[in-house]
Amino acid sequence: MGLLGMIVALIVGSIGTIVLGLAAKWVDRKVTARLQWRVGPPWYQPAVDCLKLMGKETVMPAVARGTGFLAAPVVGLSGACLAATMLWAMNLWVGSGFVGDAIVVLYLFTIPSLATMLGAAASGSTHASVGASREMKMLLSYELPLTIALLVAIVHTGNSFRIAEIVGAQQSGHAVALSISGVLALIVAIFCVQAKLGLVPFDQAEAETELMAGVYTEYSGPPLAVIYITRALMLAALPIFLITLFMGGVHMTGWRVIVSVLQFVLLLVVITLIRNTNPRVRIDQGVWFFWYLVTPVALAALALAMIGQHYEVTWL
């Protein structure tokens, strides 16, 4: 694939994921509304919100560092776009020797969080800096279990970090989630994704009842629209990441497309349900939860997976 092909793939992949993400955002809001016995917004609502923010004024706080403040959302969006495109590429061309491993994708997925912290710190607002410190603590607590969950998938699929090989091994054998350790790892990963998306119960960085809008307090107009789009993109890309690692990859041909769509919607609804049935936990409770509860479970899953591989018991 030449340079031109890569650029085209990047543009198509990004726009496709953004559209999917806006749809996911609508599903999220609609399910929330139905749970609260309301009707909820129309399907085009997230897109109109973005469009409206694009047409508004950008307020620059007097104490903000302009470059970092305005560059951060763009950096976050580009990191998320790149990660989403790589995921699509590795799912679409399983056979090809597309270089790119799970660690790179995992790393790219942390860029939006890092950019959020950078922008919040540059905005010069006290609310935003408290939010940034909380975001950092959450990042430190959920990254480790997520990486261990990723290792479970890798152990199951022949010790390769290449996502194409993880997908290929699952499609020729069985999905990782069809084993005890795989289920445990999937549950761990769902909690981590919840924290990565900054949704209740792990939305301490945004916490609108304590910190106004936390890390996003000072953003308005087009930069806010970029943040909104980034979050929508992550809402689409992270469930796809989970499907890729644990549920046999995303199928783009034949009747199995329906299976992939169902898996995607199922994960989305689970995330929305967790968000709607839990209160926000304190930051220390959040860190405690990930370090002392989720990480041991992830380690146990990893141990089970290794034992299963060693004795060739596929259901372990």
Partner 1 sequence: MSWKLWTLKKSLFVYHVNVGACNNCDIEIVELLTPQYDVERFGIVLVGSPRHADALLVSGICTRQAEPRLQELYRATAKPCVVLCVGSCALSQGVFADAYHAGHCVDEAIRAVDPNAIIAYVPGCPPKPEAMILGVIKVWEKLEELAGGKPAAAAHPLAEVART
Give, as ranges, the residues between 4 and 33 that touch partner 1 (CB under 8 A).
Answer: 29, 33
User: What are the φ and ψ backbone dihedral angles of 65, each rounded to 5 degrees?
Assistant: -90, 105
Show the tokens assigned to 134: 């909380």
Instruction: Print the binding letters for residues 221-260 with partner 1: x by CB under 8 A, - otherwise.
Output: x--x------------------------------------
Q: How many residues bind partner 1 (CB under 8 A)?
A: 33
312 in contact with partner 1 (CB under 8 A): no
Instruction: Choose which of 1, 12, 43, 56 interacts with partner 1 (CB under 8 A).
Output: 56
282 in contact with partner 1 (CB under 8 A): no
284 in contact with partner 1 (CB under 8 A): no
Instruction: Choose which of 15, 59, 266, 293 interacts with partner 1 (CB under 8 A).
Output: 59
- Measure the CA–CA gap between 126 and 111, rounded to whole angstroms: 23
Residue nearer to partner 1 on the CB measure, 16 or 222: 222
CB of 117 to partner 1, least distance (A): 17
Residue nearer to partner 1 on the CB measure, 127 or 196: 127
Taking each helix axis from N to C end, the angle separating 126-156 and 102-122, rounded to the nearest 10 degrees, works out to: 180
Number of H helices, E strands in the chain: 11, 0
Three-class DSSP category at 101 = strand
The H-assigned helical ranges of the chain are: 3-35, 45-54, 66-92, 102-122, 126-156, 163-172, 180-196, 221-246, 256-276, 283-288, 295-311
CB of 266 to partner 1, least distance (A): 24
Residue nearer to partner 1 on the CB measure, 177 or 283: 283
Instruction: Choose which of 40, 68, 124, 173 interacts with partner 1 (CB under 8 A).
Output: 40
Residues in the chain: 316
* Nearest-10 Cα torsion for 59, 62, 63, 65: 60
Asked if residues 125 and 61 have their Cβ atoms less than 8 Å apart, the reply is yes
172 in contact with partner 1 (CB under 8 A): no
Asked if residues 191 and 118 have their Cβ atoms less than 8 Å apart, the reply is no
Residues that bind partner 1 (CB under 8 A): 29, 33, 36-42, 44-45, 48-49, 51-52, 55-59, 206, 208-209, 211-213, 216-221, 224
